[in-house]
Amino acid sequence: MKIPNHIAIILDGNGRWAKSKGRPRSYGHVVGCDNLEKMCNVICDMGVKYLTVYAFSTENWKRSAEEVGVLMNLFRRYLKRCERNAKKRQMRVKIIGDPTGMAPDIQDMIAELEGMSAGYDHMFFQIALNYGSRDEMRRAAAKMTADARDGKLRPEDMSEEVFASYLDTAGIPDPDLLIRTSGEQRLSNFLLWQLAYTEFYFTETPWPAFDEKELMKAIEAYNNRDRRFGDAKS
């Protein structure tokens, strides 16, 4: 079985999963958070080199203040706990998205986690927080314009590789497999540039119930695809 080099996951369905159990949405987020820790280890042990997850979008601020508060506290707890796991698994952790939109103490935790794991290379784990693909491209365009103004970037040197180097995912290979849990079949502003040739897998299973067995189904489906990159035969 071919193991994808890079798996991206849109973690969806925490709220609906909790509702189906007669519990508040916040319970779904707590279990979703624990499941991310568990599945990150499973994915690492499988030999996947890159994992990128969509945890909080630039649009998620529109949720109730109460729910946003619960999520921020969960991120605080998760970022702290992630340090231990990063060390244990020699995993480099990077936050993609705009950290300046997060609370100052969360920004400090992000800097700390990225700093302490910067030298690890057994696995590369990207967490999208305050991330939106259009916002990422807007920020990249602003940086490119500033570099052009300062004479560091010439229009004739602009290639796809140069453009990609301005994105939050600079240096990270594009995902091979995208998984979205809980039935929705859309990208919701996630990695629009990077997913150009990625295989998509959608499952009805909500994120808190997405386990190793479900992951294997996704990888099996990936193995049955005839991957093409615009060529006639892959």
Binding-site ranges for ligand FPP (CB under 6 A): 11-16, 29, 32-33, 36, 55-56, 60, 71, 74-75, 78, 127, 182
Q: Please identify, using beta-carbon distances, which residue of 15 and 132 lies nearer to ligand FPP.
A: 15
Instruction: Give whichever of 4 and 97 is closer to ligand FPP, judged by the CB atom.
Output: 97
Task: Give least dist CB 67 to ligand FPP, A.
Answer: 8
130 counts as catalytic: no
Which of 5, 41, 60, 73 is labelled catalytic? 60
β-sheet bridge partners, residue 57: 131
* Shortest distance, position 109 Cβ to ligand FPP, whole Å: 12
Q: Which residue has the tokens 């010439």?
A: 154
- Shortest Å, Cβ 128 to ligand FPP: 9
- Taking the complex as a whole, how short is the minimal distance between the CB of residue 28 and ligand FPP, in angstroms? 6
Q: Is 14 a catalytic residue?
A: no
74 vs 172, beta carbon nearer ligand FPP: 74
Kindly tell me which of 63 and 148 has the beta carbon lying closer to ligand FPP.
Answer: 63
Q: How far is CA 33 from the centre of its chain?
A: 13
User: Which residues are annotated as catalytic?
Assistant: 12, 60
